Amino acid sequence: MKKLLIILIISISTLTTTYAQSWEIFTTENSNLPVDYIDNLVVDSNDNLWIHTKNSIFMYNQSQDSWHEFNQSNSNLTYGFTHISIGKDSSVYVSSNHIFEFKENVMNFEIVEENIKCDKFVFDENGVLYFVNQVNVYAKEGDKVKEIYNGQVGGPNYPTELLIDINENLWFAIDGYTSALYSYDGSKLDSLDSLFKENPRIGINSISLDMNNNIWLGTGLECVLLNYNIQDRNWIYFDNKNSPLGKENIFLKDSKVDKNNNVWTITAKFNGSTPISLYKYNGTDWIEYSIDNAFNISGNELLTLLSLAIDSKNNIWIGTSEGLIKFNETTTSVETNENDLVNIYPNPASNQLTIDLQGKQAIGYAISDIKGNIVENRKDNYSGQMNINLKSYPTGTYILELILTNNQKITNKFVKE
């Protein structure tokens, strides 16, 4: 019923830490998934998954492994659904010609905003509704509606998802004839467009907020990820010079931040034929997980990545044109006996890494990068101190595995700067 692949197992650090990646894909053929095309995917506070078609809303209860369908015939909903959103109060909202809120105690929806037709929307903690109608952004407080952005001016320019930061400010980006990041504090709209004037080809596909109140923007053909520090008001630009991103004819489709403040993003080819990868950025290192390799997808298979969501167990859910993908990166740690450890220094290292075996003898070692690719593998007899030349190593995090004379393995992590 489910396609499951274990991709990679790596041991890291002075504790024996094992990372095991598993993949599953759900379709209408191998599961009870109601539809295969999933372009709007969210997870609520109970880890229920929500998707929609034009005429139905679907909820997947993970604990019960069951789908629930809501439509005009069995609920208070109307037809023509455009968006699903999770509020800051963890409520589930959906939009059609009205905005509805899900009431779990009665398993039904009730209207919270009448006659609001919108493409995207979000509520702040004070109940102010911000919504997008075509190219314009509006704020509705009580019965008063005001336009705060007009995308026809200098456009058309299309707003991205709307989000509310920890200070209750609204943020959104635009993509079209111009690109910019906007903030709105309830009275004033500010434009942050200096980076986009310097890089006019940047087009914005996604926007997300991390736990440090920083904005992350996923871009189009340039395939770069932008980080805006709200407090310091500066940008970090991730491309092919400092990350695995920035590949030609690839664009970032969506990005989200998990509960450990890791940034996850998905990519797809510009022609939409084959998904590329799932990327994780932990604040220091990038890890790339190939979706092509996970499911043996060939270049002529039509599968496009569309949306991304993360549940409380850090399962990564990816909506595609052909089904729903679930990815899990699990971590387990086993205590290592203190007498088994060796000393490596300096860490971080620039040109040379020294290993003090502390009276032990080794018969070989292997060094791999954070993705598990072996970059050096040597067999010899070692005692006392070992010196490893790192001059040819790119900067990044590496895993050193020593093999002792009794075939015991000791694993350490080091950084090449």
As a whole-number percent, the residues of the chain with pLDDT over 90 amount to: 47
The pLDDT tens digits for 162-199 are 999 999 999 999 988 888 899 999 999 999 877 777 76
| pLDDT at residue 170, rounded to an integer | 97
Half-sphere exposure of 247 (CA within 13 A, CB side): 13
Enter the tokens of residue 366.
């292997």
Residue 47, by phi and psi: left (phi above 0), alpha (psi -120 to 50) or beta?
left
Half-sphere exposure of 386 (CA within 13 A, CB side): 24
| pLDDT at residue 200, rounded to an integer | 64
Residue ranges and CATH numbers for the domains of the chain are: 3-333 (2.130.10.10), 338-416 (2.60.40.3080)
Asked which of 247-251, 318-322, 375-379 is least confident by mean pLDDT, the reply is: 247-251
CA–CA distance, 392 with 362 (Å, rounded to integer): 24
| pLDDT at residue 304, rounded to an integer | 84
Per the DSSP assignment, residues forming a β-bridge with 222 are: none
Residue 209 has pLDDT above 80, yes or no: yes
As a whole-number percent, the residues of the chain with pLDDT over 70 amount to: 87
Query: Is the separation of the CB atoms in 106 and 75 below 8 Å?
Result: no
The pLDDT tens digits for 88-130 are 888 999 999 999 999 999 999 999 999 999 999 999 999 999 9
CA–CA distance, 172 with 169 (Å, rounded to integer): 10
Q: Vertex 163, ends 266 and 45: CA angle to 5°?
A: 75
Query: Is the separation of the CB atoms in 324 and 32 below 8 Å?
Result: no
In terms of pLDDT, which residue wins out, 398 or 95? 95
